[in-house]
Chain A
C-alpha cells in the first residue's frame, strides 16, 4: 500500500441473516384463519371495558383482563387519519411504489383504529372521515396483506 491507501480508515463490512419464526398465538391465529378462509375481520371484545379491539389482543391494557371473545367487525370503516409517502424506503422492507398512502382505519363495530395501505384512490382527494372498504387478495396466505388495501367505498 502506498500514498492515500496506506492511511485510509479500515472498514469492516458484512451482512447478517436474521431469520424469525414468530408464532401468532391463539387469538391472532384465529383472526388470520377467518381472514384467509372467510374474508372476515375479527376484533376482540373486552366485556369489562365494553370495547372491541381491532386488531384483536389477548390482554386488555386498561383492565388487564384476559380477552378471548372474538367478534366479527365490518370490512368497511372510516379513515381516522392518513399520510402520503413520497420517498422510497428500502425496497426489501417496503416494496410499495411511491407515491402511496397509509391510513389509520376504524372499522364499523371496532373501537380502535389500525394501520393499512389505501389504494384505488386519488391521493389528492383523501380526507379524514372518508368511508373505505377492505379489498382482499385472491390467494390469501394468512397474513395482514391478505387485505391488499382499503379503497373508497364503491357506491
Chain B
C-alpha cells in the first residue's frame, strides 16, 4: 500500500489573455516562487520536479529541457508528463505517485499555458489521427454546442440555465484575485446578449484562452507533518483514459467522467456526493459541460442538473459549492487549468482562499480535469489525515 501524502504548498500567477512582460520560463518561475513562499520552503527542500503543459500550444514542446533553471530543477530528478487537457490534473497525480512511492519526500509539480504564443488549432491537428480523424477534426466549440443541444432536448433545460451557470462563475471569479475574466455580469440577459458561436453555445458560455502558471508542492506524510502547519491530505486519485476516436462513438462521451467519479466514491465510502463532499472544483470548459457533468459525476439524478442551478445549490454559499474560484469558464490556461482546481481545493480546505472562501467548514474536496476524448482525472483531498 502506498504511503500517505499531502499538499503542503500551492502557487499560481494571475491569469490574463496575454503576458507580454514574461517569457514562458519566467511565467513558470512566478508560480514556483509563489508555491515555495506559500509552503515556507526554499528550492533546496524540493527533491524532484515534474512539469507538463499542452504540447506545441506555444509552438514548442519539451519544456523539461528549456525551463530547468526557472522551475528550480537544475541537477534534480524529474520528468515531463503531458496528457493533453488533463495535464494539469495528471501532474498532481504524478507528484502524488512520486511521494507515495517513498522514492522522494518532497515533490513539486509545475505547469503553465501561454496560449497567445502559438496556434492551438495547429497543435490539436497534430493530435488527431492522420488516417481517420485529421481530415474532418475541428475545435472544442462544436463539441460543447453539441453537448448543449443534446442536453436541452434530453432534460428540458433552456439557454437561461446555461446563463445561470455563467453568472455563478462570474460572481465567484470577481472575488478571486487570480481569475482571468471578471465581467460583473448582473442578469441572465447580460449573458444571453453575447454573440452566438454555434447554437446553443454563446461566447459567454465558453471558457477564455488564458495565460498563467500553477505549481503545487507535495510531501510524504512524515515530511508533511514536519514541514507544514496546514497539510492538505490526498485521499485518492484516479485517471480514466480511452483511445481517442473523434469521429466515432458516443455523441456526448460521459462514461469516462462517470467512471472517474464512481471509482473515487466507491473507494472512499462516498454514497451521497453532495453530503459527503464539501466543495467541488471541476474542469468545466463551457456552461453546458458544467450542467451535464453534474449528472455524470452523480451530483444529482439524470436530467436534474439545471434544477440544481435554478435553486442555487452550487453557488459559493449554496448547499454544495461547485467552483467557488470561478472555474474554467472564467480562467483557462489549459495546461495549468486542472492543477488550479487542485490548488484552489487545497486553499478551501485550509481556509486560505480569501474572498472566495466558502464559509462552511471544508472537510473534503472533489476535483477533476478533463481533456482529449473525454479523458477524466479526479482527486479527493481531505482536511484530516484519516
Name A residues whose Cβ lies closer than 8 Å to a Cβ of B. 12, 14, 16-26, 28, 57-62, 64, 66
Name B residues whose Cβ lies closer than 8 Å to a Cβ of A. 19-26, 29, 42-43, 56, 58-60, 68-70, 72, 74, 114, 116-119, 122-123, 125-126, 130-131, 134
Also in contact, A59 and B118, with CB within 8 A (given A25-B23, A64-B43): no
Q: How far is the CB of B130 from chain A (nearest CB, A)?
A: 5
Most B Cβ at <10 Å: residue of A21, A58, A59, A60:
A59
Q: Tell me the nearest residue of chain B to A24, going by C-beta.
A: B23
Residues of B within 8 A of A21 (CB): 59, 116-118
17 A-B pairs (CB sep. < 8 Å): A12-B130, A18-B56, A20-B118, A21-B59, A21-B118, A22-B60, A26-B22, A26-B26, A28-B23, A57-B69, A58-B26, A58-B29, A58-B70, A59-B25, A61-B68, A61-B74, A62-B74
CA distance A22 to B67 in the complex (A): 14
Q: How far is the CB of A60 from chain B (nearest CB, A)?
A: 7
Residues of A within 8 A of B24 (CB): 22
Beta-carbon contact of B123 and A12 below 8 Å? no
Beta-carbon contact of B25 and A18 below 8 Å? no
Q: Tell me the nearest residue of chain B to A21, going by C-beta.
A: B117
Also in contact, A22 and B26, with CB within 8 A (given A17-B122, A59-B70, A61-B68): no
Beta-carbon contact of B74 and A16 below 8 Å? no
Beta-carbon contact of A14 and B69 below 8 Å? no
Residues of A within 8 A of B125 (CB): 16
Extra contacts besides A16-B122, A61-B74, A64-B72 (18): CB < 8 Å:
A14-B130, A18-B118, A19-B118, A19-B122, A20-B59, A20-B60, A20-B118, A22-B23, A22-B59, A23-B19, A23-B21, A25-B21, A25-B22, A25-B23, A57-B69, A58-B25, A59-B70, A64-B69
- Cβ contact of B23, chosen from A18, A19, A23, A60, cutoff 8 A: A23
Beta-carbon contact of A59 and B29 below 8 Å? yes
Of all A-B residue pairs in the complex, the 10 with the closest CB atoms, nearest first, are A20-B59, A25-B23, A61-B69, A61-B74, A64-B43, A18-B122, A25-B26, A12-B130, A59-B70, A59-B69
CA distance A123 to B131 in the complex (A): 48
CA distance A26 to B60 in the complex (A): 20
Q: How far is the CB of B361 from chain A (nearest CB, A)?
A: 37
CA distance A26 to B29 in the complex (A): 13
Beta-carbon contact of A18 and B29 below 8 Å? no
Q: How far is the CB of A95 from chain B (nearest CB, A)?
A: 20
CA distance A43 to B156 in the complex (A): 64
Q: Tell me the nearest residue of chain A to B42, going by C-beta.
A: A64
Beta-carbon contact of B43 and A20 below 8 Å? no
CA distance A130 to B187 in the complex (A): 72
Q: How far is the CB of A66 from chain B (nearest CB, A)?
A: 8
Residues of A within 8 A of B68 (CB): 61
Most B Cβ at <10 Å: residue of A14, A60, A61:
A61
Residues of A within 8 A of B42 (CB): 64
CA distance A25 to B29 in the complex (A): 12
Residues of A within 8 A of B43 (CB): 64
Beta-carbon contact of B126 and A16 below 8 Å? yes
Also in contact, A18 and B69, with CB within 8 A (given A12-B131, A23-B23): no
Q: How far is the CB of B275 from chain A (nearest CB, A)?
A: 45
Residues of B within 8 A of A58 (CB): 25-26, 29, 70
CA distance A64 to B74 in the complex (A): 9
Q: Tell me the nearest residue of chain B to A58, going by C-beta.
A: B26
CA distance A18 to B19 in the complex (A): 21
Q: Tell me the nearest residue of chain A to B59, going by C-beta.
A: A20
Beta-carbon contact of A23 and B74 below 8 Å? no
Residues of A within 8 A of B20 (CB): 23
Residues of A within 8 A of B23 (CB): 22-25, 28
Beta-carbon contact of A20 and B58 below 8 Å? yes
Q: How far is the CB of B252 from chain A (nearest CB, A)?
A: 29
CA distance A19 to B122 in the complex (A): 8
